[in-house]
Amino acid sequence: MGFLFVCQAEVNYLGQFSHPNLVKLIGYCCEDEHRLLVYEYMACGSLEKHLFRRSCATLPWLTRMKIALDTAKGLAFLHGAERPIIYRDFKASNILIDAEYTGKLSDFGLAKEGPMGEQTHVSTRVMGTYGYTAPEYILTGHLTSKSDVYGFGVVLLEMLIGRKAMDHSKRSRQHDLVKWARPLLVRSSKLLKIIDPRLEGQYSNKDVERVARLSYDCLNQNPKMRPVMSEVVHILQAMLRKDETILPHSPEAALAPPEVGSAVEEEQREAVGHRKGDVALPQVGKEDVDGSAVEEEKGEAVGHGKSEVGKEAVGGFGVEEQRAAVGKETVDGAAVEEQGEAVGQFKGDDDGHRHRPPRQRTEMNSNVHCINFPKRSKSSIVEGAA
């Protein structure tokens, strides 16, 4: 009965609603005890695969935020329907990505009609996935649209930090991502230390703090204090549209270098530490490293720690002393800058690492994706029909 209920819910909701951020149900087959659902083909698979599998190319910052906005629009559409629909199983594995990296909600097996009129909630058996389910729903069985907001906050946190909601390979206090990371989201000094290191240099501090605050609010223990999904959409749209940023359609586009002198370039330089107080550093040794315009501060890499800019007379000539540059030595009392073969000689990223370009995605010719409805994992809490 549970399997039949899930298939029926899929057909009912996906057959009834149409939205750019909901996966399309092409058709279904029902023969004896066999059930088959046919979805549109989603070339890039699930968000979970891209976030946590080493075999997949890392999703850049802008692509992650675009997918977050897409799924927020999908939830806002469901919550704003004439009869509100509560998705109830929002998680990374249920977010599918098409060839243009558009995020869409799939698997409506646990979806439930929400409260109407003066109703404040729907009472139902607890169903969902551990780590993504709202705490008040687990305790009381009271289901509201704010339960979906909590799940969205968990997935947004996964995108931000690059860890699973539940990960027993970590230290015991870090098993539950929300309990460990949520208090750190509003502490700037701690926040930048827990951000997914694969995103280094792709975001501004202001943007990452804004997204962290949004996740923090969505994960509030009090459901009444969480934002509604329409507010979440507005916040993400405002962030992505600022400075007329064009959203990328792929990781390759997201990693493309910004135009010289653009606001995006300035934010990236600030994010990787090229602004030290109010001192304007000379743009010497600037390279285009892995898609970002980066000014090499090599002095910090070798431990000089000097940032003043001064002048000394060497042999009667004025020489600008760049104390933050690498290879500086004192020869016969004169400050000499060792530039190598050229001033702009490429020496890699500030952290000494070289990044591999994302793997090329194999194009598929199929137009539809045929899914034989899978059994639910043991982590799912499915106790029966609501």
Full domain range(s) for residue 173: 2-245+368-381
196 belongs to the catalytic site: no
At 115, which CATH number?
1.10.510.10
346 in a structural domain: no
Domain presence at residue 317: no
In a domain, 293, yes or no: no
Of the candidates 307, 305, 295, the one whose C-alpha atom is nearest the C-alpha of residue 347 is 295
Q: Which of 70, 89, 107, 350 is catalytic?
A: 89
Instruction: Give domain status of residue 277, yes or no.
Output: no
pLDDT at residue number 48: 95
Whether residue 328 lies inside any domain: the answer is no
Domain count, the chain: 1
Write down the pLDDT at residue 369. 52
Q: What is the pLDDT of residue 226?
A: 97
Question: pLDDT by residue for the chain (386 residues), tens digit each?
Answer: 455 556 777 777 777 788 999 999 888 888 877 778 888 999 999 999 999 987 778 899 999 999 999 999 999 999 999 889 999 999 999 999 999 999 999 988 899 998 888 888 898 889 999 999 999 999 999 999 999 999 999 999 999 999 999 998 888 888 999 999 999 999 988 999 999 999 988 999 999 999 999 999 999 999 999 999 999 999 999 999 874 545 555 566 555 555 555 555 555 555 444 434 443 444 434 444 344 433 444 444 444 444 444 444 434 444 444 444 444 444 444 444 444 444 344 444 444 444 455 554 444 444 445 555 455 554 544 444 44
In a domain, 44, yes or no: yes
Question: Per the domain annotation, does 301 fall within a domain?
Answer: no
- Whether residue 141 is contained in a domain is answered as yes
